[in-house]
Structure 1
Amino acid sequence: MPQAISSATNKGMVATIHRVTAGNGYLYYLRNIAANDITARGRSSLADYYSAHGEAPGRWQGSGLAALNIPPGAEVTESQMKSLFGLGIHPNAEQIEEQVYAHQITLGANDRAATRAAEKASKLGNKFAVYEARSQYRQQCSDAFRAHNSEQNLPPTTAIPDDERARIRTQVATEMFTIEYERPPLNARELSGWVAKNSRPKHAAVAGFDITFSPVKSVSVLWALASPDISQRIEVAHRRAIEDALSWLENNAVFTRLGRNGIRQVDVEGIVAAGFTHRDSRAGDPDLHTHVLIANRVRTLDGKWRTIDSKTLHEAVVTASEIFDSRIEHHLETDLNLQFEARPGRTPDQVQIREIVGIPLELIEAWSQRGAAIVARLDQLTAAFQTTFGREPSPKGDL
């Protein structure tokens, strides 16, 4: 999964944003978040993130859906993800193009003209430019495939069975991960995230923006341990807080730019987004959070589809995070009479985090393996930086 670009608030790290590339960038959300139908897409050692039941399917969100004739809350399909986030065309492009093509043929159009009309009907502005990926990981996999065939006395380009290819890819990824982080991956989930990051092309069109909303850890702890009724009410509070934050974003931070060098910032009709709720961290800890994948396609008031002013969106994420943070507290206090207080033991220079009163700090820390691993790695990198440059690194990583 791509690296987060911004994330901090004064209460905790509860919202992050990163770019999602066109082409196959959307597959992360299908394979690693919403792949509850494992037989339809297949399984591999790198993609088997969750149990056989998988995660809940994604749901469409945003007031921009009205222009696409898609109801909010409708289930997100793989075909829709491929069309919108892979190609930059209408989510229902397959059905639209099929209907328009058939209608044009009945009117007497030839195949070429009918195809052109069908493609025009599904357009949402210009299609995404897709660049070929040339990553070191892909290159090493290619070399490993050739070496495998050579050992079998086969031509270098001989097709390798899927199971064997998956084994080779996993072996290559594990070796490269271990070299980079000086430890083996914790599990297949962490390894698959590394593969997703290292398989991206260096240059690619931006298909969308993933804003990930995560409540503080005590919320996930209570959600995991509570009765089904209480857990469901916690999820409702989580979802309502996201809706509050997205509503603010739509009204205050989602625009496009027009004119020479994008000199004019103009209003749009709203966002088109797919939300995927995720149950745990890559370390396997309970971690309720939701990826809201906002398409880089918005319609201006003149009816034309354009791209989002990403600079404004990125700048607004800290505020959206604060809104989500405060609103989930409000919803949980109102519905479940929960109370929040500052987490003890935080120093003045640390981000202050508010947790649910009564949730033991020891349990919060025990179920924060992912965060602990990041802190440990940060300490290693800081020590290496000090050895090399003779001083501590700056927050921005400047040399």
Structure 2
Amino acid sequence: MADLPLNRRASTLAFIPDVVLPGGMTATLHKVVAGNGYLYYLRNVAANDASARGRSSLADYYSTRGESPGRWHGAGLAALGIQPGDEVTEEQMKALYGLGRHPNADQIEDRVFNEEMDKDAKLKDAHRAADNASRLGHPFRVYSDDNEFRKRCAKAYEAHNIAHGSDPGDAISDDERAQIRSTIATKMFTEHYGRAPIDARELSGWVARNSRPPTTAVARFDITFSPVKSVSTLWAIAPREVAEKVEAANHAAVDDALHWLEHNATYTRLGRNGVRQVDVDGLVAARFAHRESRAGDPDLHTHVLIANRVRTTDGRWRTLDAAMVYQAIVTVSEIYNTRLEMHLEEAVGVEFAERPGVDPSKRPIREIIDSRY
């Protein structure tokens, strides 16, 4: 596939491992495990970073808040019969990101099951055919979590929220979470050893040993694209026709960065210890464009949830070569940065310049310095 022409800084940064650009990184990457982790994204990502959706559906949320629904993205969608730009539903997120199955698994399984039963197939054979029809390779391995410390913490978080009149699944601040964990850890340590921890170091060591999550498959990677603050500020104060251009420029910059990622760093690996790197159809991702921070401040940003499933040319579904994605994230961020500047300069006529920083070891952030609005 043809490479995307790069602009300025991005061309020098391809595949540099373990590189961080302090103060300039505007695309961040996190991996998320399979199971019910998709519920976090329904509350905190799909629903505009809000920590409490209550019992409303995504459709209800979008209609009441005036936000645009999440949309599917990536060349890999063609193999699934889904069009880029189609709306993302809760059921699809559960199937793909929770179970590693086709986003429309429920409909597919129902159709195949009924077809098999119409052919007078045995019940177990119809169920097996339906199960196979929705698979995208091996289903995600999800192991039960029997860790007592983690269970007690989870119950304590829910109790904390209920006591404060919040939904049991709401997010808790880092300070409150740390205090709850420390209280539970001290109690459990004392129960086990018959004495209190000698000091904070002994307690922290116990917490580290008892906080390890169970081994569970990685279901997806979350890349979050965030422009510098001056871009969100301009979008918030400019006339509507200008604000729409700013938003469109931001979407175009995300498109450019994802295009490069899909054409230059999207592979899988085959063979013993993954010795062979293999081409794939493309990415399967859900994209959520948001316009506010959790505090309600203007904050243009985009979450892209990349499924850990790609299809090779032989038609088989496998996992992403995650190492390539991690190595490429710096380049992806640089492409987003420079393309956003270019799109805004062309569409709105603004100018960017480096803003002097307080730390000389960090590269200055580039902000808007000239705008007529």
Specify if TM > 0.5: yes
Partner of 2:190: none
How many angstroms does 1:6 deviate by? 7.7
Structure 1 position 125 matched with structure 2 position 137? yes
How many angstroms does 1:338 deviate by? 1.1
Contact 1:84 1:91 in 2 (8 A): yes
Structure 1 position 338 matched with structure 2 position 350? yes
What aligned pairs does 1:217-366 form with structure 2 within 5 A after superposition? Answer: 217-358=229-370
Cα distance in structure 2, aligned partners of 1:40 and 1:95: 23
Cα distance in structure 2, aligned partners of 1:8 and 1:63: 29
Residues 106 and 169 of structure 1: CA distance in aligned 2, closer, same or farther (over 3 Å): closer
What SS does the aligned partner of 2:300 have?
strand
Structure 1 position 62 matched with structure 2 position 54? no
How many angstroms does 1:140 deviate by? 3.5
Cα distance in structure 1, aligned partners of 2:125 and 2:280: 32
Cα distance in structure 2, aligned partners of 1:34 and 1:126: 26
Cα distance in structure 2, aligned partners of 1:42 and 1:75: 14
Q: Deviations over 1:96-151 (max 9, x none)?
A: 11111111111111221111111111110000011234474541353698xx9xxx
How many angstroms does 1:276 deviate by? 1.0
2:217 to 205, 210, 219: 205
What residue ranges of structure 1 are gaps of 5+ in the alignment? 44-48, 149-161, 183-198, 360-399
Residues 142 and 29 of structure 1: CA distance in aligned 2, closer, same or farther (over 3 Å): closer
How many angstroms does 1:346 deviate by? 4.5
How many angstroms does 1:309 deviate by? 0.6
Q: Deviations over 1:197-234 (max 9, x none)?
A: xx994432100111111111111111122222222211
Cα distance in structure 2, aligned partners of 1:285 and 1:334: 26
Residues 168 and 285 of structure 1: CA distance in aligned 2, closer, same or farther (over 3 Å): closer
Structure 1 position 104 matched with structure 2 position 116? yes
Cα distance in structure 2, aligned partners of 1:316 and 1:144: 36
Cα distance in structure 1, aligned partners of 2:266 and 2:84: 18
Partner of 1:179: 179
Contact 1:256 1:309 in 2 (8 A): yes
Give, as a single letter, the amino acid of the residue that structure 1 aligns with 2:152. Answer: Q
Instruction: Using the TM superposition, name which of 67-76 and 344-353 deviates more.
Output: 344-353
Partner of 2:24: 12
What SS does the aligned partner of 2:36 have?
coil
What SS does the aligned partner of 1:129 have?
coil
Structure 1 position 140 matched with structure 2 position 153? yes
Q: Deviations over 1:294-348 (max 9, x none)?
A: 0000000111000001011100000011001110111001111111011134543
Determine what percentage of the aligned residue pairs are the same residue.
52
Give, as a single letter, the amino acid of the residue that structure 1 aligns with 2:258. Answer: L
Contact 1:29 1:276 in 2 (8 A): no
Q: Deviations over 1:231-257 (max 9, x none)?
A: 221111111111111111111101100
Residues 7 and 17 of structure 1: CA distance in aligned 2, closer, same or farther (over 3 Å): farther
Contact 2:357 2:365 in 1 (8 A): no
Partner of 1:23: 35
How many angstroms does 1:176 deviate by? 3.9
Cα distance in structure 2, aligned partners of 1:81 and 1:6: 31
Residues 287 and 140 of structure 1: CA distance in aligned 2, closer, same or farther (over 3 Å): same
Q: Which has the higher contact order (CA 8 A, sep 6+)?
A: 2
Residues 334 and 136 of structure 1: CA distance in aligned 2, closer, same or farther (over 3 Å): farther
Contact 2:23 2:362 in 1 (8 A): no
How many angstroms does 1:8 deviate by? 3.7
What SS does the aligned partner of 1:13 have?
coil
Residues 30 and 125 of structure 1: CA distance in aligned 2, closer, same or farther (over 3 Å): same
Contact 1:6 1:17 in 2 (8 A): no
Structure 1 position 93 matched with structure 2 position 105? yes
Give, as a single letter, the amino acid of the residue that structure 2 aligns with 1:179. Answer: Q
Structure 1 position 75 matched with structure 2 position 98? no
Partner of 1:372: none
Residues 139 and 40 of structure 1: CA distance in aligned 2, closer, same or farther (over 3 Å): closer
Pairs aligned (count): 320
Contact 1:9 1:322 in 2 (8 A): no
What SS does the aligned partner of 1:230 have?
helix
Give, as a single letter, the amino acid of the residue that structure 2 aligns with 1:81. Answer: M
What residue ranges of structure 2 are gaps of 5+ in the alignment? 1-16, 183-210
If the length of structure 1 is used for normalisation, what is the TM-score? 0.71
Cα distance in structure 1, aligned partners of 2:156 and 2:300: 39
